[in-house]
Amino acid sequence: MTEEFASKSAAAIDRAKAEGRSALVGYLPAGYPTVKESIEAGIALARNGADLIEIGIPYSDPVMDGPVIQAATTEAIANGFRVANVFDVVAGITAATDAAVLVMTYWNPVMRMGVDEFSRRLAEAGGAGLITPDLIPDEAAEWFEASDKYGLDRVFLVAPSSTPERLDMTVKASRGFVYAVSIMGVTGTRQSVSSSAEEVVARAHGAGAERVCVGLGVSNPDHVREIAAYADGVIVGTALVAALRDGGVDAVGQLTKNLSAGLGRAAAEA
């Protein structure tokens, strides 16, 4: 991983490490159900134990998302979400909390605004960087340039299916952390965490990644505990979106608190 400057994501993960635990990463879509409530929900995430926050940009064709996140992002767009609102959400959360705030986005909205323009505005809003589910390093020349220029983290994904060559290349291209996809599939809650997750984390560490976070299908404190044993961070998405849908901002705070109990924080504090 390249570290020419202080990565906000890396710093947030390292703070958790210093407490003897893995980091908790929470995902919520921008503008769901409204821009204002998505800021409140993001703040609730941070105040209840999330070290990093991923803010998703609602997109018309979310091929990596399961039904819960699809429904939420579709509603956000129907409620008038505009891509530029994501900067308000990032700024709103970073102003109120210490969490590192990344944007998770499919690539076309970034391309449409212009990669440089998008990056400039994200940096201005206090954002840490981008997680790019449908952008592989092979196609990311413009993003390399812009992320270096504005000091943003580049979080690429690695999967159980990644070959050693691709894993190595992707780890080198990433900055902040590497996002390890736990299973072959789309976002959504699942009964158990796939055993392939541990293997992919070990392979990413072996390829030189200092920080590897695991996402997809992580929804309860048991999953968190299991993954925290081998990964530097645990990413929860669908379960939080469902909590926001069913119980509003308070439910997001409560679930985050429950999830963070799985990180071993109490043990570290004792």
Partner 1 sequence: MVDAPTAGSEENAADAFLQGGPSLRNASGPYFGNYGGRWMPESLIAALDEVQDTFEKAKADPEFIAQLKDLNKNYSGRPSLLTEAKRFSEHAGGARIFLKREDLNHTGSHKINNVLGQALLAKRMGKTRVIAETGAGQHGVASATAAALLGLECVVYMGAEDCRRQALNVARMQLLGATVVPVTNGSQTLKDAINDALRDWVSNVEHTHYLLGTAAGAHPFPAMVRYFHEVIGEEARGQILDQTGKLPDAICACIGGGSNAIGLFHAFLDDASVKIYGFEAGGEGVETGRHAAAISLGRPGVLHGARSYLMQDEDGQTIESHSISAGLDYPSVGPEHSYLADIGRVTYEAVTDTEAMDAFSLLCRTEGIIPAIESSHALAGAIKIGKRLTEGKETPSDVTVIVNLSGRGDKDVETAAAWFNMLDEEGHVKGTTLSTRKPKGPAERTAEAAVDVNEDQN
Is the alpha carbon torsion for 20, 132, 91, 3 positive or negative? positive
Structure-block tokens of residue 224: 């968190």
How does strand 23-29 pair with strand 178-181? unpaired
Structure-block tokens of residue 17: 């490490």
- For residues 47 and 166, which CB has a smaller minimum distance to partner 1 in the complex? 166
What is the closest distance, in whole angstroms, from the C-beta atom of residue 181 to partner 1 in the complex?
6
What is the closest distance, in whole angstroms, from the C-beta atom of residue 248 to partner 1 in the complex?
25
Distances (CA, A) of 194 to 78, 167, 183, 217, 229: 35, 19, 6, 9, 14
- For residues 163 and 191, which CB has a smaller minimum distance to partner 1 in the complex? 163
Catalytic, out of 51, 54, 226, 232: 54
Binding residues vs partner 1 (CB under 8 A): 59-64, 66, 70, 74, 77, 82-83, 107-114, 133-136, 138-139, 141-142, 156-163, 166, 170, 181, 184-186
Half-sphere exposure of 159 (CA within 13 A, CB side): 11
- For residues 184 and 267, which CB has a smaller minimum distance to partner 1 in the complex? 184
3-state secondary structure of 231: coil
Q: Are 24 and 233 in contact (CB under 8 A)?
A: yes
The yes-or-no answer on residue 65 being catalytic is yes
Q: Residues 3-33, buried b or exposed e (16+ Cβ, 10 A)?
A: eeeebbbbebbbebbebebbbbbbbbbbbbb
Question: What angle (nearest 5°) sits at the alpha carbon of residue 49, between those of residues 236 and 53?
Answer: 50
3-state secondary structure of 131: strand
The yes-or-no answer on residue 148 being catalytic is no
- For residues 36 and 112, which CB has a smaller minimum distance to partner 1 in the complex? 112
What is the closest distance, in whole angstroms, from the C-beta atom of residue 199 to partner 1 in the complex?
15
- For residues 3 and 145, which CB has a smaller minimum distance to partner 1 in the complex? 145
Catalytic, out of 51, 65, 168, 226: 65
Query: How far is 4 from 61, CA to CA, in rounded Å?
Result: 34
Nearest to 182 by CA among 159, 161, 149: 159
- For residues 13 and 118, which CB has a smaller minimum distance to partner 1 in the complex? 118
What is the closest distance, in whole angstroms, from the C-beta atom of residue 194 to partner 1 in the complex?
12
What is the closest distance, in whole angstroms, from the C-beta atom of residue 220 to partner 1 in the complex?
21
What is the closest distance, in whole angstroms, from the C-beta atom of residue 243 to partner 1 in the complex?
23
Question: Residues with catalytic annotation?
Answer: 54, 65
